Structure 1
Amino acid sequence: MRFGFWLTHKRIVVTGRHLIPKGKPVIFAPNHQNALMDPLALVCTNSHQSVWLARADIFKSKRVGAILKYLKLLPVYRIRDGKDNLSNNEEIFAQVIQLLENNQTIALFPEAAHSGKRQMLPHKKAIPRIALEAEAKNDFKLDLQIVPVGITYSHYWKFNRSLIIQYGQPIQVKDYWIDYELNSQKAMLDLRDEIHRKLVSLILQIDSKTSYPEIENIRQLVGKEYSKRRYFCKDPSLQLFYSEKELVSKLEQLEELQSEHFQNIIAATRQYFIGIEKDDISDDQIENAEKACWSKVFSSLTLAVLTLPIFVFGFVFNAIPFVILRTILRKKVKDVAFLSTFNFVGGLILFPLFYLIAACVLFSWSDSVLVASFTLVGMPFGGKIAYQLYPFYRIILLKILYLGGSKSHKNTINSLLEQRSGLIALILEKVNF
């Protein structure tokens, strides 16, 4: 599973793994944006065999339920699942407390639902309740630790995305001993709020309710340029993460302190993205047109030709299962937040099956075990490399289409490019107020 997880991501960055307590009961508390990919992000990046708690309604589907049981998930019932079912939580929580008393690790999402946005949902009281009741049962000598975990995807359901997982500073539940003795409900709320504060520091959080789509577009539009002007760390993924986090924070400050300037930015952003959608042009087409010249295209073509055999190898042995899986999922999966999950699980089955069939066909043609074996081993790696090369080829194609395109097409691109450059300059000027 870890190998499959690595294959489907362009880059995985993990920080704070050293902060996970050893020899103590632990509750992982990650943010929840991407269905079952979020538990997998933790399962594949730490050595703990965690028991997961998840909302009960996702167990209704037999297929999903089977996956959840395989991943060691237990159901937690909410009012919307029916009042009669709430009593089932007592038994589940009792099991969880017993696991913690045995120094086991559990994990559950404070939000109790996935949002599919860079915006956490309100936190529930499940984690504080379990943690404080477990400590109270053991006279606050359990030394239970809650580890907030920030999960950040470059995209929620696209293949070959980047992923950042940040394990935060543990929260010691025993620090709430006195508060719990005085007022248990207030202690639960205070612990819930501390988990929220810790998590916000580990994720890219967009708080704006009215301008979320525009701020998300601004992040994608200006993030890289803003990152060039600020330095946070050497790692490129984390550098971009912290830059975008600061950019979003400044935009939200601008919304609060200088509402008129903020609304001007939002209006200009909305106008630009409506324009490119109307002309059926993507933002990266506009971005690459700015850097397009024939000399650079020819030098890039040389590299493209040299890497083409690797790309073809990876494409030939991965395109068919990739297209089949994507076609099926787009027809069958209604909730886009589950696309990535079913894509991953389906890929774990379909790709190895296709690799084996292809290897058998190769063996029948070549009558060589060595050729079939080496090809079989190389298929997944070839697929990953091919997908890494795809954006490079696409950029070359976009530049050729721009440079060799009609005058009217160039005029449209140039007009949008001018609008884009002006928008970026406006945003960078106003966020540095």
Structure 2
Amino acid sequence: MPTDRERIEQWSLGYHLLKSYHDFFFKIYFNTTVVGIKDIPFDKSLIFAANHQNSLIDALAVLSARRWQLVYLARADVFKTSTLRKILTFLKILPVYRIRDGYQNLQLNDDVFRKTLDVLRIHRGIGILPEGNHFGQRRLRPLKKGIARIAFQAEDACEGKLNIHIIPVGLNYSNYVNFRSKMLIRFGKPIDISKYLDLYRQNTALAYNALIEELEVGMKAEMIQIDDEAYYDEYEMLREIFTPAYIKAKKLPKHQNSRFEVDKKMIAAVDKIKTNSPGQFQSLMDEVRSCSKLISETGLSSNSIQAKGLKLWGLLIKLPVLLITLPLFVYGFVNNIIPIAVTKKASNKIKDVQFISSIRLVVGMFIFPIMFIIQTLVFWAISGNGIYSLYYLLSLILGAIIAYHWRKYALKSFEDIKWVICKFRNTEKAEKLIQLNNSIYNTISPSI
């Protein structure tokens, strides 16, 4: 295992194999869409700056977007033991020392800086999460100046010949935790730092501020940005109830980037209403809260009320399908219950929700293949037939896929049943929900 930091910028076969294995499972865990990667100037020295909302997953998401070997910078306090240092070095992660890590350790940054120069010179690429720590809300927090310091010092040390460009990256999750959540990775317009180099040589602080300001604008353009902390939950609810309705009404594509664009327009429209018509904004927020309360009281979900025209006969088709295919679900679930349970248990004690998907991904990418191999070997030992054992292995994989989709279809069907029951037993509340949704839609849509 290559753990020599002196060679961290060089291509590594071991890292390539592990990353390929990881990328496969990452794209199973998250339904991933990548936008803008074709516009990246790979002939330049690149620094990738992504928002930080979901712990380790944020760095892994950028890595999974392409077959590359970026070198990441991380806090030095995670390099606590020699074993961790070797593992993190193999994973192409360099430490950055801060005053809190001990004043005597700051000089170690000189060696790290030298390695970043080596990485940039050969166009390998550096990854940084400039917010510093993760935070599970859809907004960009103030960026640390470290990314500007690294970029300018590197460019200046090479007399402006590195041609460093910073790529803003927006990571957008439909859900931070759930398996098969949708993830949109957007690479933004490159920022050429050479235009600030003269300013850097004259006034370092002003150059840092100018670059950070442009980078913040670039990153916000590629991510969902909800600035209003007081009404954050209301904006989130609007993303759930307005955006799908708008996409359906306008017959827009249902892919992730389309939803992202509608979300951005919706947030901008609501922000505009807040600025120009405070009274109308307050009424809108009241309606959103009322809608959220009714959804909670009726046990529905925001997805349920999108199917306003759902009829009882539609369910009469879904339920027999579920019953007929139930044995397939049972087979798939029973044969995968151990890796499912182990993966879930591994994350149960995690207090920080933003770490859950990281733990589940890492545990799952090892426990599922291990259990598949063990179960297949046991089947082979019992049956004595290699061909049947291969069929059994294939059935384990197909069973897991079928069980997931059956459960997803069943949950959606049960939501539809709840909505139909609500329309019959709580007609007043159902009509109120529809009325609120229509009012919210009619308030926002003219501004988009």
1:241 matched residue in structure 2: 260
Residues 109-154 of structure 1, C-alpha deviations (whole Å, 9 max, x = no match): 1211111111111111111111111111111111122111111111
Which residue matches 2:313? 295
Match of 1:350 in 2: 367
Between the aligned partners of 1:344 and 1:210, the Cα distance in structure 2 is 33
Distance 1:392 1:90, change over 3 A: same
Which residue in 1 is equivalent to 2:334?
316
The answer to whether the aligner puts 1:379 opposite 2:390 as a matched pair is no
Contact 1:286 1:416 in 2 (8 A): no
Give the Cα separation in 2 of the matches to 1:111 and 1:192.
11
Which residue does the alignment assign to 2:18? none
Q: TM-score, normalised by structure 1?
A: 0.88
Cα distance 1:343–1:29, how it changes in 2: closer, same or farther (>3 A)?
same
1:310 positional shift: 5.0
Structure 1 residue 335, shift from structure 2 partner = 0.6
The one-letter code of the counterpart of 2:220 is: V
- 1:25 Cα shift? 1.9
**Conserved? CA contact 1:314–1:385, under 8 Å:** yes
- Note the C-alpha offset of 1:396: 2.1
Q: Which moved more, 1:155-164 or 1:222-231?
A: 222-231
Give the whole-Å Cα distance in 2 for the aligned partners of 1:364 and 1:105.
49
| Cα distance, 1:249 vs structure 2 | 1.3
> In 2, Cα distance between the equivalents of 1:346 and 1:262?
45
Alignment pair present for 1:171 and 2:184: no
Q: Which amino acid aligns with 1:293?
A: K
Residue matched to 1:155: 175
Letter in 1 for 2:434: S
CA contact 1:230–1:243 (8 Å) conserved in 2 = no
Q: CA deviation at 1:66?
A: 7.6
Residue pairs, 1:21-420, within 5 angstroms: 21-59=41-79, 68-79=88-99, 81=101, 85-230=105-250, 234=253, 236-288=255-307, 290-304=308-322, 308=326, 310-330=328-348, 332-400=349-417, 403=420, 410-412=424-426, 414-420=427-433
What's the TM-score once normalised by structure 2's chain length? Answer: 0.86
Deviations 1:248-299 (A, max 9, x none): 11111112221111112212222332343355443344545x3443321122
Q: In the alignment, is the contact (CA less than 8 A) between 2:166 and 2:192 conserved in 1?
A: yes
Question: 3-state DSSP class of the match of 2:126?
Answer: strand
Superposed displacement of residue 361, structure 1: 2.7
1: CA distance, partners of 2:85 / 2:315: 50
CA apart distance, 1:36: 0.8
Q: For the Cα contact (< 8 Å) 2:245–2:306, is it kept in 1?
A: no
Q: 1:196 to 1:387 in 2, by over 3 A?
A: same
* Aligned mates of 2:314, 2:82 — CA distance in 1: 53
Distance 2:109 2:231 in 1: 38
Q: Is the 8 A contact 1:74 1:92 kept in 2?
A: yes
CA distances 1:9-67 after superposition (whole Å, capped 9, x unpaired): 2x221111212222432111111111111111121111220111123345559998787
CA contact (8 A) 1:160 1:388 kept: no
| Structure 2 contact 240–302 (Cα < 8 Å) conserved | no
2:19 aligns to what? none
CA offsets per residue over residues 302-338 of structure 1, 9 Å max, x none? 54456556544432333332233213312x2111110
Stretch deviating more after TM superposition (36-45 or 301-310): 301-310
Does structure 2 retain, via aligned residues, the 8 Å contact 1:7–1:380? Answer: no
Shift in Å at residue 89 of structure 1?
3.4
Distance in 2, matches of 1:380 and 1:17, equals: 31
Alpha-carbon distance in 2 for matches of 1:115, 1:370: 50
Residues 262-271 or 58-67, more deviating: 58-67
Q: How many residues align?
A: 425
Q: Superposition RMSD on alpha carbons, in Å? A: 2.8
* Matching residue of 1:6: 27
Residue 240 of structure 1 aligns with an amino acid whose one-letter code is R
Identical-pair percentage: 31
Contact 2:33–2:185, Cα closer than 8 Å, also in 1: yes
- 256-265 or 332-341, larger mean C-alpha shift: 256-265
Give the secondary-structure state (helix, strand or coil) at the position aligned to 1:169: coil
Q: Deviations over 1:145-172 (max 9, x none)?
A: 2111111111111111111111222212
What is the aligned partner in structure 1 of residue 14 from structure 2? none
Contact 1:55 1:113 in 2 (8 A): no
Gaps of 5+ in 2: 1-21
Amino acid paired to 2:425 = N
